[in-house]
Amino acid sequence: MPTAVLTARALLLDMDGTLVDSDAVVERLWRAWGEEHGVPFEQVLRVVHGRQGYATMAELLPERPMELNHADNARMLAAETSDVEGIVPIPGAHRFLAALEAGALPHALVTSADVALATARMTAAGLRIPRPRITAESVGASKPDPEGFLKGAAELGMAPADCVVFEDSAAGIAAGLAAGMRVVGIGPRAAAHGPTVAVPTLEHVTVDPLPGGEGLTLTLLVEDAQPAIAS
């Protein structure tokens, strides 16, 4: 596989599809939601990943009052938080997070989940929860708005251009690029949505600190003939 190399001062990490494989739960509950509201599951599946629930609902039911979406979102969050059947870590996630911790490399979680859901899913996957963490409670707009990633960079004291985002979804990749950051796409959904580079799993990522402690190097085994070096 071709190799790409990125340098950065900090990493901003999505959760679902990036650190945690929650597809089984998401698809189970959102399939039921689609049936309840007469929305074909294929349409739901095209937009559900990476967004807060109310934003997904607004996309699928554009005439529906937003207050109903927010109320329904609260119900869905409760259901998702209580259902962790099938939650597993993305391959390589344990090693990846351990490398960041061992090297004291700056990183933050930026997720569309709220604190309760993020805690439930990371715990079910046996993963530590990165801090700082930017969750649904931290932002006024869902991905693909860049607010969450910009807040994550600010929490770490970093300029956007010094950060690399790890994402899997169309909404998340768009948010990272809109924030002025480079984006590593993770998993089967990512490559189609224009990340800087894409890898199949976190097993294809190696993290090393730069000499002097001023950042890190990412060595990526990329999915296709992407650039050998991406700045």
User: Could you tell me if 58 and 101 lie in one domain?
Assistant: no
What angle (nearest 5°) sits at the alpha carbon of residue 22, between those of residues 79 and 143?
A: 85
Q: Is 168 found in the same domain as 58?
A: no
Cβ burial 168-206 (10 Å sphere, 16+ → b, else e): bbbbbbbbbbbbebbbbbbbebbbebebbbbbbbbebbb
Distance CA 229, CA 231 (A): 6
Task: Give the strands of the sheet with 197-199, arranged side by side.
Answer: 133-134, 107-110, 10-13, 163-167, 182-186, 197-199
| Model confidence pLDDT, tens digit, residues 183-205 | 999 999 999 999 999 999 999 99
Same-domain pairing of 163 and 151: yes
Query: What is the span of the domain harbouring residue 113?
Result: 3-22+87-221
At residue 228, the pLDDT reads: 45
136-169 per-position pLDDT tens digit:
999 999 999 999 999 999 999 999 999 999 999 9
Same domain, 75 and 9: no
Classify residue 226: in a domain, yes or no.
no
208 lies in some domain: yes
Residue 223 has pLDDT above 90, yes or no: no
- Report pTM: 0.92
**Do 170 and 69 belong together in one domain?**
no
* Count of residues in the chain: 231
- Residue 16 a catalytic site member: yes
Q: Are residues 70 and 165 in the same domain?
A: no
Residue among 14, 23, 83, 145 flagged as catalytic: 14
- Look at residue 225 and tell me whether its pLDDT is greater than 60: no
**30 and 16 within one domain:** no
CATH number reported for the structural domain that contains residue 155 in this entry: 3.40.50.1000
228 in a domain, yes or no? no
pLDDT > 90? residue 182? yes
Based on the fold, state whether residues 40 and 144 are members of the same structural domain.
no
Does pLDDT of 97 surpass 90? Answer: yes
Quickly state the pLDDT bin for 63 (edges 50, 70, 90): very high
Confidence at residue 211, expressed as pLDDT on a 0 to 100 scale: 86
- Of 16, 21, 72, 83, the active-site residue reads 16
Residue that finishes a domain, picked among 45, 65, 82: 82
- 231 has pLDDT over 60: no
